Amino acid sequence: MRRLQGSAGPVHAIFTLTSAWGHTAVEGRWRPGYLTQMPAKLRQAAVAVLQGETTLWPALTAGIVVAVASYCVGPTRGDLEVDVALASMATFLFGVLIAFTIARTTDRLAVVQTLVSRNNASLLSILQLMAVFAVDRTEEVRQMIDRQLTDQIDYRLLDNHLATPSNLALTAAIIALDPQTLQQEQAYRSLLDVCIDITANRAQIESTTGQSLQAIEWVGLLLLLLILMALIVVLPGGTVWGALIAGALAGTLVTLVVLLRKLDLLRWHERSSIWEPTTRLFRSMGLHPYVPRQVIVDGRYRPTGVVRVVDYPDPYPNRSTKIVTLEDLSADVSADATTEVEAGRASDG
């Protein structure tokens, strides 16, 4: 394995890997301060729950806790009619709220996925239109497209605006083209139109991704969930079947909340709508796909063939270092290829 060192100081170094620019980005996971005090495994589990990355264990845990509590409480409860009335109101409010938020976040996710697909198609169109220009300019644009795509992957979709510098650099390079022939002039006009479309799509993506659920909405939803689960505990009256049904109902409610969390973080169906199309786009441009290792480890996406696997040693959104390794995942064997470690770009912050 050959390791390349970036230059010291604020000036970033650029290395070539499979006809692509290496550049700085660090993908980590933002964690609340209290999570950093936990043991590593417990912290990892807590982050997975908060980020909606696991559904089985939260739902199963909630179901078991509610079932056991319901059986242990037994017939000890208040007025049954009052409990039923409270449960009816809580169920109605929770159902209306979660149905509304799931519908809203689903529409938001569909809009973002559509805009991302349009941007990917536009980037491929740029490379195809560049075929009429000199080979060196075409290769330069190919590298800048790769840089923009890898920037978008390094940052979360919710932070798409952080990849703006690479988009501005690509646009500036296309505007700076000097067409000499009629064919180049026609392609140049089409390139400018595509750049305008990309800029408009990115603005819509940034606007849409900023419409995530606010803290007050999560607080209200979780309070209703806790109230409803508490009422579910006391309603069965201590019967075994009633406790089992209460546990199943609690697990279902938690599953709906986890689903909402995935939708809010734009991670629902990301394999088919984000990772697979992006992988095909890289290969269409003659580049190796670019996938964070954590995405593979978490089971969110499993690429095949030769892939640029990215490790991010620093917390998100620190953009100081990254490690890119070319690996062959077709046979679950890592190819001992090129690894880059480069200094941070001052422009990334």
| Reported pTM | 0.74
Give the DSSP letter string of 23-52: ----------GGGGGS-HHHHHHHHHHHTT
- Would you say 277 and 67 are in contact if contact means Cβ atoms under 8 Å apart? no
- Would you say 343 and 13 are in contact if contact means Cβ atoms under 8 Å apart? yes
**Residue in 197, 218, 203 with CA at minimum distance from that of residue 112:** 203
The pLDDT value given to residue 38: 54
Q: Cα(141)–Cα(172) distance, rounded to whole angstroms?
A: 11
Residue spans of the chain under pLDDT 70: 1-49, 51-52, 77-78, 319-320, 331-349
Q: Cα(100)–Cα(175) distance, rounded to whole angstroms?
A: 44
Q: Cα(149)–Cα(166) distance, rounded to whole angstroms?
A: 9
If one counts every other C-beta atom within 10 angstroms of the C-beta of residue 150, the result is 24
**Residue in 166, 172, 141, 189 with CA at minimum distance from that of residue 286:** 141
